[in-house]
């Protein structure tokens, strides 16, 4: 096949840092929780490096960055973090440029889309609803909907299954080593975005392709399709 190679039948996306720049609202929620615990604020760029393994890990990293971290402090900080974030889920968050056009092209080709995220299910659905994406995704699986979250491959595989897809004709799009590790273990091709929340350069994540904007997604998937069986 050449540049008109078939697209995968299922494309799964990570949420934070991949579909949506949630940095402003995650930062506000984390700083609210840190304030409740008597800690100083942290800046958005630092917060983006802390995201990827759920709210509890985010708060743990925020506490480590501002002083002593204990399980008791995490336990005390999680509820105000979640409550504040749920009430302010989409104040500053926005989809990445070019994403809507890319999703439209995928849909026009009959591709099924899904979301695999370490965000809690309720917050994931609140965010997707606030952006106006109801009906865009065949499945949304937050971390609390599966026994083992990313980077465990079962999270990604369960998302593909929930969307009615087959791992042999699927691809994953993410922004971090958590996403790439999950995809590799699931034996699913993975595209890394360079504009998300990675804790290291996207080129070093080991993805099958790296894109700098969503204008590059469809061509990247078609290139992967030239050697795939989908």
What's the full length of the chain, in residues? 230
**What is the pLDDT confidence band of residue 5, given thresholds at 50, 70 and 90?**
confident
Q: Which residues pair with 172 in a beta bridge?
A: 12, 190
Which residues form the catalytic set? 14
Report the helix count and the strand count for the chain, using DSSP H and E: 9, 8
pLDDT band at 221 (very low <50, low <70, confident <90, very high): very high
How far apart are the C-alpha atoms of 173 and 129, rounded to whole Å?
20
Q: Which residues contact 45 (CB under 8 A, 6 or more apart)?
A: none
What is the tens place of the pLDDT at every residue in 59-93?
999 999 999 999 999 999 999 999 999 999 999 99
Output the CA torsion sign for 201, 207, 212, 213.
negative
Using left for φ > 0, alpha for ψ between -120 and 50, and beta otherwise, residue 132 falls in: left
DSSP secondary structure, 135-171, as one string: TS-SEEE-GGGSSS-TTSHHHHHHHHHHTT--GGGEE
Structure confidence at residue 198 (pLDDT): 78
Q: Is the peptide bond before 58 cis (omega within 30 degrees of 0)?
A: no
Instruction: Tell me: pLDDT of 172 over 70.
Output: yes
pTM strictly above 0.85: yes
How much is the mean pLDDT over the chain? 94
- Say what the pLDDT of residue 51 is: 82
What domains are defined for the chain?
10-21+93-225 (3.40.50.1000), 23-87 (1.10.150.240)
């Amino acid at each position: 096949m050449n540049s008109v190679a078939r697209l995968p039948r299922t494309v799964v996306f990570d949420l934070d840092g991949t579909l949506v720049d949630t940095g402003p609202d995650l930062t506000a929620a984390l700083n609210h929780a840190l304030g409740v615990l008597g800690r100083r604020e942290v800046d958005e760029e630092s917060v983006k490096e802390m995201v990827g393994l759920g709210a509890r890990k985010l708060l743990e990293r925020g506490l480590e960055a501002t002083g002593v971290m204990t399980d008791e402090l995490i336990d005390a900080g999680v509820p105000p973090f979640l409550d504040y974030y749920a009430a302010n889920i989409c104040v500053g968050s926005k989809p990445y440029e070019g994403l809507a056009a890319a999703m439209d092209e995928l849909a026009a080709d009959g591709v099924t889309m899904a979301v695999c995220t370490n965000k809690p299910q309720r917050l994931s659905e609140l965010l997707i609803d606030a952006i106006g994406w109801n009906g865009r995704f065949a499945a949304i699986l937050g971390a609390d909907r599966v026994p083992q979250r990313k980077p465990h491959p079962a999270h990604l595989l369960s998302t593909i299954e929930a969307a009615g897809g087959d791992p042999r004709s699927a691809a994953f799009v993410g922004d971090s080593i958590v996403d790439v590790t999950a995809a590799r273990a699931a034996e699913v091709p993975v595209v890394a975005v360079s504009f998300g929340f990675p804790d290291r350069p996207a080129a070093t994540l080991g993805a099958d392709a790296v894109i700098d904007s969503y204008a590059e997604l469809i061509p990247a998937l078609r290139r992967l399709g030239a050697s795939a069986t989908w």
